[in-house]
Chain A
Amino acid sequence: MRVTAPDFSQLRLDGVSRRFGSQDALTGLDLTIQAGEFIALLGPSGCGKSTALNCLAGLLPLTAGSIWQDERRVDTLPPERRGFGMVFQNYALFPHMSVRANVAFGLRMRRLPRDEIRRRTTEAIRLVHLEEHADKLPGQLSGGQQQRVAIARAVVLEPSLVLMDEPLSNLDAKLRLEMRTEIRRLHQSLGLTTVYVTHDQEEALSLADRLVVLRAGRVQQIGSPQTLHTRPANWHVADFMGYRNLWPMRAQSAQGALVEVEADGFRLVGDPVGDIAPGEAVMAGVRPEDVRVDDPGEAATNTMPAEIEVVEYQGRELAAEARTAAGIRVHLRTDRRVAPGDMVALIIDPQRLLIFPNDSDEQPSGPLVDEVGTRLEEPGLVG
């Protein structure tokens, strides 16, 4: 398939909002997408990412805002006149048409010459390695093959924008990895501008040039995979980006660029994200892989004695859950062969412990303490 020069330079979403009744599904989404970029909309279910995609596709009318493709306003156009390709979560292949007819559908709708339709369809089917299945009905294909057809059907039109709505979520783990590579390969070879919706942070990190993290219909952060991975804007994003350890604490005093935080007499030093005043409620977050395990030893900064409670084997590494003397649960990953009941020291590099302002009373998605009852025994952690 030819790599066509994109026929626009940027797509601009300007305060795109969508209400369902009295519920705000998406509020004021501002986003500028450069041609050729791969954007991932990321967030937990119900965050408004699919709403945003459907608004872009024209399948949902906007409640407010506008969408511009350079100087062309597209949000007032019906979906069939936007020229965007879309890949649906359930593939949405036409069950009564062969693979070839499915892929050719969009070309037929454009009333292209018969020869060109045949040529481009064959090419698109070859691109997704389905040559020997071209005359089958979608029902005769596996999930992964159906997804390939859906992708071929969308890209055969060489659309100015490809929208993908959780395209891999119905596939099993192995196939998901394969298709992820496939999508990345397609994007790199065709240079199609892509907006990809997912709730899988790993998928988003590995595919996208830029990530947009949404929560409750609002943008939380827009940035490169690296930025989101190492420097989440707030603890909600951190929670979503794999900071499994999130502890509600209270800021004590600044220590140079760092800040000391405290909960229940237990002190840590971390790197503040944004301005944090002493006495403020904060959320301290660290990734499991940034918690180091050592033999129990002397007390030092950010060193906590703890007991290993649960161990999961994960190949090269172990994922473990430990409980500190102060009763805090710590998720960690280590290549040490620890076992439940082991007494260890947990060490956190202050640069890797991010201190976020805690703006709300909400708890992180993973329960801080498993049982409701034990949480009450640790009032210092909740405050």
Chain B
Amino acid sequence: MSVTTPPAATTRPSQSPRVHWRHRLAERGVDGQLWLLAPAVLFVVLLFLYPFFYGLGLSFQPTEGGPFSDYARFFGDAYQRGTIWTTLGLALPAALLNVLASVPIAYRMRGRFRGKRLVTILLVVPITLGTVLTAQGLLNFLGPTGWFNRVLLALHLTDEPVRLVHNYWGVFFSLIITGFPFAFLLVLSYLSGIDPTLERAAATLGAGWWQRFRAVTLPLLMPGLATTFCLTFVLAFSVFPSAVLVGNPAGETRVISIAAYQAAYEQYDYPYASAIAMVMGFIELVIISVVLLARTRLYTGSSGGKG
């Protein structure tokens, strides 16, 4: 560094030398590391954006009638339209239960204790099973001659087997078994992100455990719960295999994805199937928007923890 002032310095204000383009790009976050995003962008374009817009276009080109006639057909047919309510009737309670059940368990499981890893593995292992294995397990366990009903009968709690598969409840249980681990892991990580000192501070200020949870932990956890709800809801809303395997795909668990599947692979009406898929996506979008809009009203800043 030179000690003498360069003569240019006196004329600098009028010259205002342009900042090097590299600095200007870096200011906007454009640098070499951006290339790390390339595979993800390619993936999204090829496997999501292209098929989505292709389907969207297809849904406006029905085999007969105007561009909206397939949508009109779907909403005009009560049997088809009803799949929306059937799916929502499964996905909303299942997602809600997954989130609500995760909270107390994750609340107890944060921090360290002996056997935490084992319990976590047990809670998370259903993720690895896959829907088909879960369905088979449910059929064996909850079926008319399954262990559950045999125990009920043996204890004379019931005279005839309780029907828990091939109906609404079979699909519901399947959604809980596959969705809960996701919800639990997410809620656990959100909870670990909340500084445990906050609850200690609340305790020294005279708050009992319920007040501590209600006034401190829950408000800080709510944004995380909203996100978790959205993710498990999306998982549950696109339910297909379990609706067929442990549900009643012709009746009470004829979900919207079954309607789309039948249009595409039983009637070979791709435009109609695309229209149903678009309706499905739109409903998901509406629910998520509502939840995320509500989430913006919550405190979403730092909660002081390691998260």
A residues near B, CB below 8 A? 57-59, 78-86, 88, 90, 92-96, 105-106, 109-110, 137, 139, 153-154, 157, 163
Contacts and interface: CB of A to CB of B under 8 A. Distances in A.
A96 B299 contact: yes
A149 to B, nearest CB: 11
Nearest to B203: A79
B165 interface: no
B63 to A, nearest CB: 55
Most buried by A among B202, B203, B303: B203
Given A59-B204, A80-B204, 20 more contacts: A58-B203, A59-B203, A79-B200, A80-B203, A83-B206, A84-B204, A85-B204, A85-B205, A92-B198, A95-B299, A95-B303, A96-B301, A96-B303, A105-B207, A106-B205, A109-B202, A109-B205, A109-B206, A109-B211, A137-B301
Interface of B: 195, 197-198, 200-208, 211, 215-216, 219-220, 299, 301-304
A92 B220 contact: no
Contact of A109 (B207, B219, B303, B304): B207
A84 B202 CA distance: 12
Contacts of A93: 201
A91 B114 CA distance: 30
Contacts of A79: 200, 203-204
A92 to B, nearest CB: 4
Nearest to B223: A96
Contacts of B216: 94
Contacts of B202: 94, 105, 109
A90 B195 contact: yes
Select the residue from B200, B201, B211 with max chain A CB neighbours within 10 A: B201
A90 B200 CA distance: 12
Contacts of B301: 95-96, 137, 139
7 contacts: A57-B200, A58-B203, A58-B204, A93-B201, A105-B205, A109-B206, A157-B205
Contacts of B208: 80
Contacts of A163: 204
Contacts of B198: 92, 94-95
A57 B197 CA distance: 13
Nearest to A84: B204
A110 B206 CA distance: 7
Contact of A92 (B201, B211, B299): B201
Residue from A57, A78, A80, A163 whose CB has the most chain B CB atoms within 10 Å: A80
A59 B199 CA distance: 10
B197 A96 contact: no
Contacts of B195: 90, 92
A57 B202 CA distance: 12
Given A109-B211, A139-B301, A139-B302, A92 B197 contact: yes
Given A88-B201, A90-B197, A80 B304 contact: no
Contacts of B201: 86, 88, 92-94, 153
Given A92-B195, A96-B299, A137-B301, A86 B206 contact: no
A92 B216 CA distance: 11
B129 to A, nearest CB: 37
Nearest to B205: A106
Contacts of B215: 94, 105
A82 B203 CA distance: 10
B223 to A, nearest CB: 10
Nearest to A103: B205
Contacts of B203: 58-59, 78-80
Given A86-B201, A92-B197, A92-B198, A80 B302 contact: no
A163 B302 CA distance: 26
A303 B207 CA distance: 63
Contacts of B197: 88, 90, 92
A179 B198 CA distance: 22
A81 B206 CA distance: 6
Nearest to B201: A92
A105 B198 CA distance: 12
A79 B203 CA distance: 6
Contacts of A59: 200, 203-204
A353 to B, nearest CB: 45
Contacts of B204: 57-59, 79-80, 82, 84-86, 154, 163
Contacts of B299: 95-96, 137
Most buried by A among B197, B202, B204, B303: B204
